[in-house]
Amino acid sequence: MRQRFNPATRRRRAWLTLAIAVVAIGSCGLGLFAACTGTATIADLESDKANLMEVARDVMPDIAESLDGTITEAWGEWRYGGAKTIDRRSYGIRIMMTLDSPSESDYAEALTGAGFTITQEPDPDSAQTLVGKIGDADILVNVEDSEKKTFSLVSPWREMQLHTPTSRPYGREPIDLF
């Protein structure tokens, strides 16, 4: 036999359900759920992008000059990563240079001369990537012999609240560094 509740009990249950929903939704701000733990904002991402553009404009022409190279192309693009409950974003700038054959030490000297601290030396048995850091920006370059080199400047990954709308479209944005 089904038990009937009086109207006062029904109202208490409705208020309790509403209170639980409010706490669950409000908990996003407290980071209690994995999908809500991101703390970065679109303004933070735009600031990272502006800082990275400033670094690119300040140091990449000097790096090209110290390596006797020519910047042939540069572009920036948003990078997206994460998993089902995590949304991470970063901005990256790619700079293509035509170079003669600089040595591994020439790359390191060019980066340190531009203010970067070398954080990873190339490993001949695996990644031939030289990594440097200046502020929050990382620079990566593969030092294997090649006439055309790609330098990558990247901002740190920022964790966003899940499904935060983007302020920028996907794809490349040309950057004038020449």
Domain boundaries, the chain: 40-174
Q: Whole-angstrom distance between the N-terminal and C-terminal Cα of the chain?
A: 83
pLDDT of residue 36: 45
DSSP class of residue 165 equals P
pLDDT of residue 127: 73
pLDDT of residue 30: 44
- CA distance readout (Å), 73 to 101, 133, 134, 154: 19, 22, 22, 16
pLDDT of residue 101: 81
Q: Which residue is associated with the tokens 């006797």?
A: 68
The pTM assigned to this predicted structure is 0.74
- CA distance readout (Å), 149 to 20, 97, 98, 141: 56, 5, 6, 7
Pairing of strands 148-154, 86-98: antiparallel
For the domain spanning 40-174, the CATH number is 3.30.2030
pLDDT of residue 26: 45
pLDDT of residue 144: 78
Three-state secondary structure call for residue 138: strand
CB proximity list for 76: less than 8 A, separation 6 or greater: 49, 52, 53, 91, 92, 93, 94, 172, 173, 175
Per-residue pLDDT of the chain (178 residues; tens, 9 = 90+): 556 666 666 666 666 565 555 444 444 444 444 344 568 888 888 999 999 999 999 999 999 999 999 999 999 998 888 777 778 889 999 999 999 888 889 999 999 999 999 998 888 777 788 999 999 999 999 887 677 889 999 999 988 877 777 666 667 889 998 7
